[in-house]
Amino acid sequence: MNTEARQTSQEHRLEPYFQPILSLQTQSILGYEALGRRIDGGRVYSLGPFFHDHTIGEEQHLNVDRLLREKAIAVMAQVQKESEALLFLNLKPSWIYRMYKKTGQLPTLQLLEKHGLDPSRVVIEITEEEFHGRLDELSAIINVYRERGCLVAIDDIGSGYSNYDRIASIKPNILKIDLKLLKQSALHDGYKALLNSFSILSSQMGSSLLVEGVETKQDLYYAMKAGARYVQGFLFSEAQPGLQDPGAYERLLKEEIRHYTEQEVTRYRSLFSIQDSLSGLVTSDVNVSSAHEADAVIESLLSGVTGSVERVYICSEDGCQISSNYVRSADGGWQRDSRYQGSNWIWRPYFIPNMLRMSSQQQGMISQEYTDLDTSRLMQTYSCPIGGSNYLFLDLSV
CATH number for the domain that contains residue 352: 3.30.450.20
Say whether both 11 and 117 belong to one domain. Answer: yes
Ranges in the chain, pLDDT < 50: 1-11, 161
CATH number of the CATH domain containing 256: 3.20.20.450
Give CA–CA dist 211/20, Å, rounded: 12
269 part of a folded domain: no
270 part of a folded domain: no
Say whether both 134 and 255 belong to one domain. Answer: yes
pTM for the model stands at 0.81
Say whether both 224 and 295 belong to one domain. Answer: no
Q: How many domains does the chain have?
A: 2
pLDDT of res. 340: 93
Say whether both 305 and 258 belong to one domain. Answer: no
314 part of a folded domain: yes
Say whether both 197 and 299 belong to one domain. Answer: no
Residues 6+ apart with CB under 8 A from 16: 34, 35, 36, 37, 68, 69, 71, 72, 75
Strands 174-178 and 208-212, by their bridges, are: parallel
pLDDT of res. 79: 94
Say whether both 199 and 110 belong to one domain. Answer: yes
Say whether both 314 and 233 belong to one domain. Answer: no
Domain C-terminal end among 212, 228, 263: 263
Say whether both 304 and 221 belong to one domain. Answer: no
- Angle, in degrees to the nearest 10, between helices 135-147 and 93-103: 80
Strands 390-397 and 378-386, by their bridges, are: antiparallel
pLDDT digits (tens, 9 = 90+) for 187-220: 555 566 666 777 777 887 889 999 999 999 988 9
Domain residues for 86? 3-240+247-263
276 part of a folded domain: no
Say whether both 63 and 188 belong to one domain. Answer: yes
Q: For residue 260, count other CB atoms closer than 10 A to its CB.
A: 17
pLDDT of res. 359: 83
256 part of a folded domain: yes
pLDDT of res. 1: 39
Residue 169, SS3? Answer: helix
151 part of a folded domain: yes
Give CA–CA dist 378/61, Å, rounded: 45
